[in-house]
Amino acid sequence: MKCSIIRDLLPLYCDNLTSADSNEEIENHLRNCTECTEIYENMSKEEITMTEQDKNIKPLKKVKKHFLIRLICGILGTAVVLFGVFMFVFWGVIPISSDKLSWTFEGSSMEGADGEMDDNGNFIEKRRYTTKFIDIVFTGDCSCTREKYDSEYIYNDDRSITAHHHITIYPVIKIPFDDRGENPNQFSWGISKYNDNDTITIHCRDKDMTFYIKDLVEESGLTLE
């Protein structure tokens, strides 16, 4: 077999991809050809070197992969902790304790007007009115508060509506440049009208306090008339 053919077959022979008959021909040729034998030996050395390099690289890849996973987990863990601290300190996730909350009553009013729009889109005033409010001013024993307010309405058979109001107040740390005014630890909730069965529930850390609004109005000593 010619040297050119043997040299073309040597890469396949080194990878054990040649047939038994081809192997016999190649080996017979190598026993008698110094040049092809030298080429074969060089190929074998390169194959051994590449195999050793792969063995050395694989552990390094595993170490790098393990380090990368730990780094990502560390970054995510730190982000979760910082987010939790931010939510707890600056946003507020735990309601205020009842002993840290007090409230007072204040009277206020708002001017308004009834009317209609003319053909040119101008408002024509027909009647002016004043709406009185009894404001419940909640004050937290903290630097600042955040409030959550919700209401549910029940439609009764006599077509009246019973309202149940829910207020949750959270203590937070005052953020710099906060625009809540001079008393960021206060929250005002106004009453303008109510039914006898309307209630307000204040959700605190240690308990929920539910009051009939009519009782709070009587306690205030103020009137809405």
pLDDT at residue 90, as a whole number: 52
Statement: residue 52 has pLDDT above 80: no
Which residue would you say has higher pLDDT here, 213 or 91? Answer: 213
SS3 of 40-62: HHHHHHHHHHHHHHHHHHHHHHH
Statement: residue 66 has pLDDT above 80: no
Which residue would you say has higher pLDDT here, 209 or 78? Answer: 209
Cα gap 101→90, rounded to integer Å: 19
Query: 119-165: per-residue pLDDT in tens?
Result: 888 888 888 888 899 999 999 998 888 889 899 999 998 888 999 99
Q: Could you tell me which residues are beta bridge partners of residue 166?
A: 150, 201
Query: 178-217: per-residue pLDDT in tens?
Result: 566 678 889 899 998 899 999 999 999 999 999 999 999 9
Task: Provide the pLDDT confidence category of residue 70 given band limits of 50, 70 and 90.
Answer: confident
pLDDT at residue 213, as a whole number: 95
Q: How confident is the prediction for the chain on average, in pLDDT?
A: 82
Q: What percent of the chain has pLDDT over 70?
A: 80
How much is the pTM? 0.56
Statement: residue 7 has pLDDT above 90: no
pLDDT at residue 178, as a whole number: 58
SS3 of 183-225: CCCEEEEEECCCCCCCEEEEECCCCEEEEEHHHHHHHHCCCCC
pLDDT at residue 215, as a whole number: 94
Select the highest-mean-pLDDT range: 37-51, 92-106, 207-221: 207-221
Q: Are 6 and 23 in contact (CB under 8 A)?
A: no
SS3 of the chain: CCHHHHHHHHHHHHCCCCCHHHHHHHHHHHHHCHHHHHHHHHHHHHHHHHHHHHHHHHHHHHHHHHHHHHHHHHHHHHHHHHHHHHHHHHHCCCCCCHHHEEEEEEEEEEEEEEEEECCCCCEEEEEEEEEEEEEEEEEECCCEEEEEEEEEEEECCCCCEEEEEEEEEEEECCCCCCCCCCCCCEEEEEECCCCCCCEEEEECCCCEEEEEHHHHHHHHCCCCC
Query: 9-21: per-residue pLDDT in tens?
Result: 777 777 777 788 7
Phi, psi of 159 (to 5 degrees): 70, 5
pLDDT at residue 190, as a whole number: 92
